[in-house]
Every structure is written in structure tokens, then in C-alpha cells.
Chain A
């Protein structure tokens, strides 16, 4: 039996009838949508229920919620300073959503929302849109100074387009990094799982060899858990760095 390692990323409608029509396009309820709803519900339910007891000595759940709160608060504080903490809800929601999507994707047989470029690009555009709105609200037209480095005027002709392109690169590099990491990791897992299946089916001596990729899967699985956290962290910290630039323009540290 040949397995397609990319099959796990296929988006399939779960209900054969379109749920609604928007401008003539049928909108289906897909496995993607289901997982996103599960992630959003599970994370918000967990976080609200975990802090409900509100004990001085926290329970395990409360401790987890408080730790994630402090982790993100520290991250924003160190990257943007005091006034960045206004954006805590935004960054925290992003971080938890990406983290939970990555972790839910690690459950065998489930679907990784963040392995879809559509999702990560939408998230990245949200971040950059936020940065632009915040920048213009805080500095007015002066926000455009972000694109003007300290240089003699004749170099600015060359440098301003470069800075603009560099800024426009952000949503792409932000989304591609998350998407590529998740896609690569899950493809690798599926490929090695395929080895186990075909070696096991071959029988005899091959059954023994099948143990090697099996052990490797366990190792990659652990690595993927680290990557799942790391990519959520990178996504959040880069959001903070971009927000910092919008808030403070050129005075880098």
C-alpha cells in the first residue's frame, strides 16, 4: 500500500453541502474549519476554567495558565517595553492560537491548521495590518519615517525602495517560516511512518529493520513538539519586534 505523505494536508469538506454562499462562492465546512474551531474553543475554555478557582496556591491548570500569561507578558515587556503591554491581548491570543494549532496537529490523525499557507499568511497580514494601523495612529504621517534611514539624500533614492521592500517582506517571511516548519515536520513523520508500514508488510527480516524508522519517528515526534512551541514563540516574538518598531520608530535599543 503506497501512502502519500502529503495527503494529510488535504482540505476536505466534512459536510457535502455548502454551508453558505458568499458572492456566489460555495463555502464548505472543512476539516480545517473544524480544527480551527476546536483549537479556539479548547484554548479559551481551558484558560477561563483554569483560572476560575483563583487560588493563592495555584492548581496545575491554573499554574499553566499563569505561566503562559507571564511568559508572554515578559516577552512583550522585553521586546517592546512598558507601552507594548497594551497589545498583550493581541499577542497572547496569537501565541496561544498558533501554539494550540501546532500541538493539536501533533495528535495522530488530526489536521494541522498552521501547515496551510492560507492560515499563516492571513495571520501574518493581520499582524502587519495591526503594525501599520498602530504606527499611523501613534505617529501620524511621521510613521513613514520608518522607511527613511539616516543617510545622505542621494542614497535615499536607493534606500527608501529597499526599506519598503524589506517591510513588505515581513508578512511573507513570517508566514512562510511557520508554514514551512509545520509542513516539513509533518511530511517527514508521514514519510518515516510509510517506511514502517511497507517494511512491516514485507515480512521476514524486514520486520526487524522496520524498528529503525519506528524509533526515528519517536525521536522526530519529540523534535516536532519542540518545533511546535518554538515556531509559536518565534511568531509571537517577531510580532512584538514589529510592534516595537511601529511604536518607537528608529530608536532601536
Chain B
């Protein structure tokens, strides 16, 4: 076997690097389906309400144990806070999904 041509080897190395870079840019990601997005938003919103309500109920219960009858003040306050947290979660999720879609369309514009 003849000794490999150093020029061709460096050229091959360069092409490999480029190919790897291209692959890393368009890292295979499953597309977010419409139903998936809807499901994600729903769980984020409902989970925040459950956590908020649960926290408030727990605080009320704790105060009740020590003889302060706050119920249902904290339940109401934390339920509202939970709703706000849920909307915050959904906004965050929406930003993430937008960034993902933007990254995808930017990385492979030639595909239709």
C-alpha cells in the first residue's frame, strides 16, 4: 500500500470537521407536534394550580394546628398565585418552543 498523500489527508480531516459541525447544528430533534404543545401547556397550567392550591391548603392546615383559624385565606391567596405561576410556566414553555422552532428553521433553510 502506498503512503497516504498528506495533502489529501488534511483535506479529508477538514471535510470531516465540516460534516461534524453540520450534524451538530441540525441535531436530530423530533418536531414538537401540535397536540404535544397543547398537552404541555395544559399540564403546566393545571400543575401550577394544584401546587398553589395545595400549598395554601397546607399553610392553612398548619396555622389551624396552632390555633389560628386562617382557613381559607391562604388557600385563596395561593390559588391565585398558583394561577399566576401557571401562566408564567406557559409563557416560559412558549418561549422555549419558539426558540426551538426558530433554531430548526434557521439550521436547514433549503429543506421544504
Contacts and interface: CB of A to CB of B under 8 A. Distances in A.
Interface string B55-69: 100000000000000
Nearest to A230: B30
Given A78-B27, A173-B44, A173-B89, A165 B52 contact: yes
A74 interface: yes
Nearest to B28: A71
B51 A180 contact: no
A169 B89 CA distance: 9
B4 interface: no
Contacts of B51: 165, 168-169, 172
B36 A169 contact: no
Nearest to A167: B85
Interface residues of B, number: 26
Interface of B: 24, 27-28, 30, 36, 39-40, 43-44, 47-48, 50-52, 55, 78, 81-82, 84-86, 88-89, 92, 96, 99
Interface string A158-173: 1001110110110011
Interface of A: 71, 74-75, 78, 158, 161-163, 165-166, 168-169, 172-173, 176-177, 180-181, 226, 229-230, 233-234, 241, 253
A173 B24 CA distance: 29
Given A173-B40, A173-B44, 8 more contacts: A74-B27, A166-B88, A169-B48, A173-B47, A176-B47, A180-B39, A229-B30, A234-B36
Contacts of B82: 165
A142 B96 CA distance: 25
B49 to A, nearest CB: 9
B82 to A, nearest CB: 5
B40 A177 contact: yes
Contacts of B78: 161, 165
B50 A233 contact: no
Given A161-B81, A163-B85, A230 B36 contact: yes
